[in-house]
Amino acid sequence: MTGPLWLAPLAALWGAGWGALLPRAAYRFAAPAGEEWHTACPEGHPLGGWLGGPDCPDCPDCRTPLGRRALPVLLTAALCAALALATGPRPELAVWLLAAPVGLLLAVVDLRVMRLPDPLTLPLAAGVLALLGVAAALPGAAGSWLGALYGLLALGGGAFVLFLINPDGFAFGDVKLCLALGAALGWYGLGAVSLGAFAGLLVGAVHGLFLVLARGAGRRTAFAFGPSLLAGAYGVLLVAGAAAA
């Protein structure tokens, strides 16, 4: 199943709006591990609120280039439009559209400081599972809430094992992110969970290989794994959503 074309522009507008509001949260959350979240701009001016553009109103000479301001808007709009086309007007689409901006925010923060903040990962996991419970009770839903619960437990448990084996390569923040991803993928069955996990690991391997070839990184060089997990999960969500009866 694919959604009607009129859904795509509406979802894109939703995503674009969030893409314009999230840069400030990305900056504030992008503090290295062990440090408090940013409360001031790089010039030291107090920065209030969590939603808004990337620029500090007290720094007229420090403006973000247009391209960098437009990138999060375009990415979030494109992801939401793709989810709408793949999922169609089914109840779970609302869950995907609510979760997508948070996922992209996590990816940006992880790329910047290799950190997945608990105030984002844990509410995301709880929110996805709870909202899918609501979606399952509505007509037209194409998944299973029990599947979402099993997916959360399966992917979260598997990620925890990887963390125990190699905590330097697979951080505990990645485990918490996998709770939300497991719930979303499990909605479409444990097969989607397995495929999403494989896709995330594959993207991570390609990312690591790129770092080795392009930057001379070593085997023990740490890199952000969250974006790879998210990319794999979103790819499987698109395929599973389009294939769902």
In a domain, 2, yes or no: no
Question: In the prediction, which pLDDT does 67 show?
Answer: 59
Using one digit for the tens of pLDDT, what is the confidence trace for 152-201?
999 999 999 999 998 877 899 999 999 999 999 999 999 999 999 999 99
Using one digit for the tens of pLDDT, what is the confidence trace for 80-99?
999 999 999 999 999 999 99
In a domain, 107, yes or no: yes
In a domain, 20, yes or no: yes
SS3 readout for 22-74: CHHHHHHHCCCCCCCCCCECCCCCECCCCCCCCCCCCCCCCCCCHHHHHHHHH
**What range defines the domain where residue 187 resides?**
7-243
The single residue listed with the structure tokens 């709408």 is 84
Give the rounded percent of residues in the chain with a pLDDT score beyond 90: 69
In a domain, 1, yes or no: no
Q: In which band, very low, low, confident or very high, does the pLDDT at 61 lie, cut at 50, 70 and 90?
A: low
The structure tokens listed for 84 are 């709408």
pTM of the predicted model as reported, rounded to 2 decimal places: 0.91
In a domain, 129, yes or no: yes
The structure tokens listed for 140 are 């037209």
Task: Find residue 40's DSSP bridge partners.
Answer: 46
Give the C-alpha separation, 200 to 131, whole Å: 24
In a domain, 58, yes or no: yes
Report, in angstroms and rounded to the nearest whole number, the Rg of the chain calculated over CA atoms: 18
Question: In the prediction, which pLDDT does 62 show?
Answer: 63
Using one digit for the tens of pLDDT, what is the confidence trace for 96-152?
999 999 999 999 999 999 999 999 999 999 999 999 999 999 999 999 999 999 999
Question: In sequence order, which ranges of the chain are alpha helices (DSSP H)?
Answer: 7-21, 23-29, 66-87, 91-113, 118-136, 145-165, 172-186, 190-215, 226-243
Query: Could you tell me which residue, 244 or 102, shows the higher pLDDT?
Result: 102
In a domain, 133, yes or no: yes
The count of structural domains within the chain is 1
In a domain, 122, yes or no: yes
Contact 164, 215 (CB under 8 A): no
Q: CB atoms < 10 A from the CB of 191, how many?
A: 13
